[in-house]
Amino acid sequence: MRIAEFELERYFARWEFAVKHLLCASDVQGWSMSELLEHADDETAALWRDLHLGYTEAPGHPLLRREIASLYETATPDDIQVLSGAEEGIFALVNVLLEPGDHAIVTWPGYQSLYEVARACGADVTLHELREDAGWAIDVEALRGQVTPRTKLIVIN
């Protein structure tokens, strides 16, 4: 599989740590572990202090999955799959849902991987353009017109 060069990453590789003032970013402001743990309850802080680094179960650590599931009324830990970030999630989702010849619709402008990974899987991709003069709103009728019998994925980002 060949995926097109990730333009945002190339941009950050060139500029993110080379400028005096960074006016954009696609990640969070980093904290040290001590800063983060200042906000932890006693149980969580103890778990971090006693943490053993290594592989865990493929779906994610059971405690983490339980904590994530507790944030949703109908989710159980078995419904949760922990991934290492957005890229892994996009890659996994697209590879599970799409096969060569399938069709995906992806809002654009948007995160490049959302359409490039689908293309790399052999899917036909239609970009549903969002326009500033329309308030970046989705044109539902235009979106309906883009759906085909081969459409298996619609991404709204």
The pLDDT value given to residue 37 = 93
Q: How many CB atoms lie within 10 A of CB 142?
A: 10
Asked if 115 and 156 touch (Cβ cutoff 8 Å), the reply is: no
Q: What's the CA gap between 39 and 123, in Å, rounded? A: 44
The pLDDT value given to residue 26 = 66
Angle, CA 34 vertex, CA 31 and CA 60 arms, to 5°? 75
The pLDDT value given to residue 134 = 95
Q: Give how far Cα 102 sits from Cα of 26, 34, 108, 124, Å.
A: 30, 47, 19, 6
What is the residue-level pLDDT of the chain in tens, covering all 157 positions? 788 888 888 887 787 778 787 777 666 778 899 999 999 999 889 988 998 888 888 999 898 999 999 999 999 999 999 998 889 999 999 999 999 999 999 999 999 999 999 999 999 999 999 999 999 999 999 999 999 999 999 999 9
Taking each helix axis from N to C end, the angle separating 112-120 and 86-97, rounded to the nearest 10 degrees, works out to 40
